[in-house]
Amino acid sequence: MVENDGIRVCPIPGYGLGVIAERAFKRGDCVLRERPLIHFGKPQSSAADAPRQAFDMAELTAIIKGLSDEDRSQLTALHDRDQKPGQAKTYIGIINTNSFGCTCGSINDGACVCIIASRINHSCFPNLTRYWSHSEEVMCFMATYPIQPGDQLFVSYCDSNATQAVRQKTLTRYGFQCQCRLCSLTGHALLAHDAAAVTFEVGP
């Protein structure tokens, strides 16, 4: 199940594939609701602070084996950050690159991979925020501020409230260096932002 009226996946210079808006969205509008292609790793305890289990290869193998040819083709078309030149993608690499945690308040539902959501690129100043609907088992993306037709959609892959150095270190696992408006700050503007980030992390 996908509800994505008004957005589309397309090539974007400098990003490969991405997702753009085809109509306007107001702050708080639901931009995308997507049921995962694969949903896995649900811990025995549903508490949000329950430790996430390591990938269970038997579970993942069974899930992937149960996919239709079309669904498996969509999965293998996603990016694999661990792919080496001249080597094929691996399912574990694709899942490592594209999975979202499925937490809802105090509920931990493991992790998932969504086909359209996996095409949404990163920004430390995103125009989308996401949440997991435990009751419906869908990943939802809401507009954090007004979005205009033609705007690229972004979600943050890291803690946007962290300092620039911490954000960049976190993002190395995805194999790119962010150049969003926050990561492009220099001089006094960067010092002011990082000071505010540290204050936010430490608290009053």
Provide the residue range defining the domain that includes 80: 2-161
Specify whether 88 is located in the same domain as 131.
Answer: yes
Q: Could you say which of 144, 161, 178 is where a domain stops? A: 161
Q: Which of 32-41, 165-174, 192-201 has the highest mean pLDDT?
A: 32-41
Task: Report the CATH number that the domain containing residue 74 is assigned in CATH.
Answer: 2.170.270.10
Do 156 and 170 belong together in one domain? no
Q: How confident is the model at residue 72 (pLDDT cuts 50, 70, 90)?
A: very high
Same domain for 187 and 102: no
Q: What is the pLDDT of residue 34?
A: 96
Torsion-angle region of 49 (φ positive above 0: left; ψ -120 to 50: alpha; else: beta) = alpha
Q: What angle do CA 194, 200, 204 make, to 5 degrees?
A: 120
Residues 181 and 150 reside in one and the same domain: no
Total tally of structural domains belonging to the chain: 2
Indicate if 34 and 46 belong to the same structural domain.
yes
Mean pLDDT of 140-159: 95
Please state, rounded to an integer, the average pLDDT across all residues of the chain: 87
